[in-house]
Amino acid sequence: MAFGDLIRHRVKPLAAASMMALGLIALAPGADAQSVIRDTEIEQFLKKETRVVLDASGLNPDQVHFLLIADNQLNAFATSRQIIGLNTGLILEAETPNELFGVIAHEAGHQSAGHTVRSDEIYQAAKAPMAISLGLGIIALLAGSPDAGAGLMASSQTFGTLGALRYMQTQESAADIAGIKAMERAGMSGKGMLAFFERFRNAETFSNAERYQYFRSHPLSRDRIGVLRKLVEAQPHYTAVDTPETIYQFDIMKAKLAGFLEHPIYVFQKYPETDTSFPARYARVIAWYKQTDLKKAHTELDLLLADYPDDPFLWELKGQIYFETGQIDQAIPAHQRSVELMPNAPLLQLNLGQALVARGDRPHLEQAVLHLKESLKGEPDNSFAWNLLAQAYDGQGMNGEARLAAAEAEFYNGNIQQARTFAVWSQKNLTAGSPEYRRARDIVLTTSSLMGIDPVDGETPSRRK
């Protein structure tokens, strides 16, 4: 990779950080802490189902990334860096896919119009990363630009700052109109956006402390709702409805989120055993697992797999349950099956690589290297994958490759000085002129430039005699 390519890669929006146990566990204290989650199944739904809306909004769907915040508050935001943030609470409160797509269209309207107030606030606040994992067992956070540090993630206090911000009414109205027009161009009804706003408009009457966060940063008014209703009802696709398949996949996404994020008692009330639909069975398996009723979880998951043997996400869940309970030998074949069914999913490859690294013997470590490299082809800035790769190389005594992988991990975590140190060390154990050696050299040159030091003697100009 050339020096310039390395710089461009550094500012990619999505990355992953250090390791933690699988499952939804906060990395820092505080019950109100907000965390980012990653999940292939949910991300796949959002990317697939919103492509037409994002395209109609004038955005490149392949460059838009969804940031899932594990928080039950209704909130969403957009940044100029092609990121649309969605609180899980907002997703769970949406009654139809159309409602969720309407909110996304509104946020895309802010992006296409260049409304960047919240973007700068978020990036300046991103100083203390925290995260949790959902289903996949990895931590994810955003990699920012060099001048913004390690990237985007913050505590609830930081995101609370967003609630204090006020968009100009003209910007909100412009985003409304842009969102409705984008929905129409996409062949969708705008009634979902209208229904969502109307359902929670009464939050405007609450005190600022009680008000839903989304409506502190997106203030509504009776007049604005009235204008929006007239515009929506005038659109040719006003009566369009979500397809049965979209509704089904939406219900699966909500069931999975509920299973992981809500109290098991509530999950069992919402999805009673009399409900034999796939989403309900899925939610109950996860809830039993979170409740540590592992026998029940395994029994019901096996029944689901008997009915849906080619579902990669069921195999992923099976692997996760085994992994989290220390049954590595059982976790590996489950994750292998998920990868066989969906080989192009970087995070599924990562899960398998993680289990293989945990196994620890040389044959499994060699396999881990292969799967982690496959994962990194899809997400080359995933620092957690680089950390696992460093462990896999270390276990085989490949010191040069291990330090190079560690340098990559630190680089994408934003730890520039540590990345340079590891890259320098790696060069001492790599064959001069090899691709790995050249990659280490690129990292040294890039980090030296960012730090303002000489890549050869390691001194800043001011320190030279």
pLDDT, one tens digit per residue, over 395-411 is 999 999 999 999 999 99
> Both tokens of residue 62?
């392949």
| HSE (side-chain half, CA atoms, 13 Å) at 434 | 13
Q: Quick one: pLDDT at residue 28? A: 30
Helix (H, G, I), strand (E, B) or coil at 245: helix
| Within a domain: 174 | yes
> Phi/psi of residue 36, each to 5°?
-90, 140
Alpha helices in 236-361 (DSSP H): 244-261, 264-270, 278-290, 294-307, 312-324, 328-341, 346-359
Q: Quick one: pLDDT at residue 458? A: 57
Q: Quick one: pLDDT at residue 215? A: 56
Q: Quick one: pLDDT at residue 43? A: 95
Q: Quick one: pLDDT at residue 219? A: 59
Q: CA 199, CA 174: separation in Å to the nearest integer?
A: 21
Name every residue whose Cβ is closer than 8 Å to that of residue 313 and which is 6 or more positions away in sequence: 40, 41, 135, 338
Residues of the chain with pLDDT under 70: 1-34, 115-170, 201-221, 455-465
Domain count, the chain: 1
Determine contact, residues 294/324, Cβ cutoff 8 Å.
Answer: no
Determine contact, residues 136/8, Cβ cutoff 8 Å.
Answer: no
> Phi/psi of residue 302, each to 5°?
-65, -35
| Within a domain: 140 | yes
The angle subtended at Cα 161 by Cα 155 and Cα 162, nearest 5°, is 100
Kindly write down the DSSP assignment for every residue of 54-119, as one continuous string.
HHHTT--GGG-EEEEEE-SS--EEEETTTEEEEEHHHHHH-SSHHHHHHHHHHHHHHHHHT--HHH
Partners of residue 79 on adjacent β-strands: 83
| Within a domain: 78 | yes
Q: Quick one: pLDDT at residue 227? A: 85
| Within a domain: 171 | yes
Q: Quick one: pLDDT at residue 81? A: 75
Helix (H, G, I), strand (E, B) or coil at 141: strand
Is the alpha carbon torsion for 25, 27, 30, 35 positive or negative? negative
Q: What is the pTM of this model?
A: 0.80
Q: Quick one: pLDDT at residue 204? A: 53
Range of the domain at 170: 14-233
| Within a domain: 27 | yes
Is the alpha carbon torsion for 393, 399, 405, 411 positive or negative? positive
Cβ neighbours of 96 (radius 10 Å): 18
Q: CA 406, CA 386: separation in Å to the nearest integer?
A: 6
Q: Quick one: pLDDT at residue 189? A: 96
Is the alpha carbon torsion for 390, 395, 398, 399 positive or negative? positive
| Within a domain: 349 | no
| Within a domain: 220 | yes
| Within a domain: 77 | yes
Q: Quick one: pLDDT at residue 15? A: 35
Determine contact, residues 200/76, Cβ cutoff 8 Å.
Answer: no
